[in-house]
Amino acid sequence: MKTRISVFLSLFIAFTYGQNIDNSLLHGLNFRSIGPAGMSGRVTAIDVVQSNTAIIYAGTSAGSLWKSSNAGTTFEPIFENQKTASVGDVAIYQKNPNIVYLGTGEGNPRNSQNFGYGMYKSLDGGKTWKHLGLEKTKSIHRVIVHPDNPDVVYVGAIGTAYGTSEHRGLYKSVDGGASWDKILYTNTSTGVADMVMDPSNPNKIMVAMWEYRRWPWFMNSGGPGSAIHVTSDGGATWQKLG
C-alpha cells in the first residue's frame, strides 16, 4: 500500500512540474483561510428552553458547548477548560431549565470524529458543571431526561468508531447521574444511533441500535446487531422489532 502511494505521488509531482503554468491566471484570485478542511465546525446538538425560546444551547463537534440568551443573536462558550471540547448531545429539564445534561463525544462516526469524556450536569444553566462518569463510552449520541423527574436520565452511547468496545449501549440513571445501569446492549460493535421517548408515556422508548466499524480506509455499516428495540416499562424489558 505504501509503495503504491509513493509511486502515485512521484508520478503526480513529476507531471505537475512538467506543466507550464501561466501565473497571470492567478493574479485575480484572493486566497482565504478555510481552516483544517472545514471539519471542525459542525453543530452536533441543539436544545431550547421551551418556556423561553430565546435561550438556546448549541453543541459542536470540537468547539464545545455554546449558549445564547437572545434567540441566537450572540452565543457565549459555557463549557471551557474541560477534559473534552466535543459534544454529542445536550438535554434540558424543561420544568427547571437550570438543570442541563451534557453528553460528550460526537456521535457522528466521521473520519474526523472527536471523542468525549462521558456525561456532565449543570444545575445553574451552564455556569458550572459536574462530571457524572461514563467516560469510557467515548461518544454519546443521545441524552433524554424524564419530563417529570430530572433524576431519571437515558444516555445512548454509540461508542468509538475505530474499534470495538463493551461500553456501547443504552444507560439509565435514576439518581441524577450519580450511578448508571446499562439497560440495553447488543455487542462490542453496536451502539445507540438514535432514540426517542413517547411524549405521552415516558416509560415507552424506542432505540435504534447500529452495528458499524470504521478504519482509515474503509467503513462497515450495518450488521446483525443493528435493530430497533422498544420498551414500555422504562427499560426493564425490551422487544426487538427488527
Please say whether the beta carbons of 119 and 133 come within 8 A.
yes
3-class state of residue 7 by DSSP: helix
Residue 37 has pLDDT above 80, yes or no: no
Question: In this predicted structure, what is the pLDDT of residue 85?
Answer: 94
3-class state of residue 182 by DSSP: strand
Question: Nine-digit cell at 41?
Answer: 465546525
| Phi, psi values for residue 11, rounded to 5° | -65, -40
Ranges 15-19, 28-32, 208-212: which has the least confidence: 15-19
pLDDT digits (tens, 9 = 90+) for 158-215: 999 999 999 999 999 999 999 999 999 999 999 999 999 999 999 999 999 999 999 8
Q: Could you tell me what percent of the chain has a pLDDT over 70?
A: 87
Question: In this predicted structure, what is the pLDDT of residue 237?
Answer: 98
The mean pLDDT of 106-128, rounded to a whole number, is: 93
Residue 17 has pLDDT above 50, yes or no: no
Residue 226 has pLDDT above 90, yes or no: yes
The mean pLDDT of 4-17, rounded to a whole number, is: 47
Question: In this predicted structure, what is the pLDDT of residue 91?
Answer: 99
pTM: 0.83
Residue 39: count of CB within 10 angstroms of its CB? 14
Please say whether the beta carbons of 118 and 131 come within 8 A.
yes
Question: In this predicted structure, what is the pLDDT of residue 24?
Answer: 74
C-alpha–C-alpha distance, residues 187 and 189, integer Å: 6
Q: Which residue segments constitute the domains of the chain, with CATH numbers given?
A: 44-240 (2.130.10.10)
Q: What is the mean pLDDT of the chain?
A: 89
Question: In this predicted structure, what is the pLDDT of residue 19?
Answer: 55
Question: In this predicted structure, what is the pLDDT of residue 13?
Answer: 46
Question: In this predicted structure, what is the pLDDT of residue 113?
Answer: 82
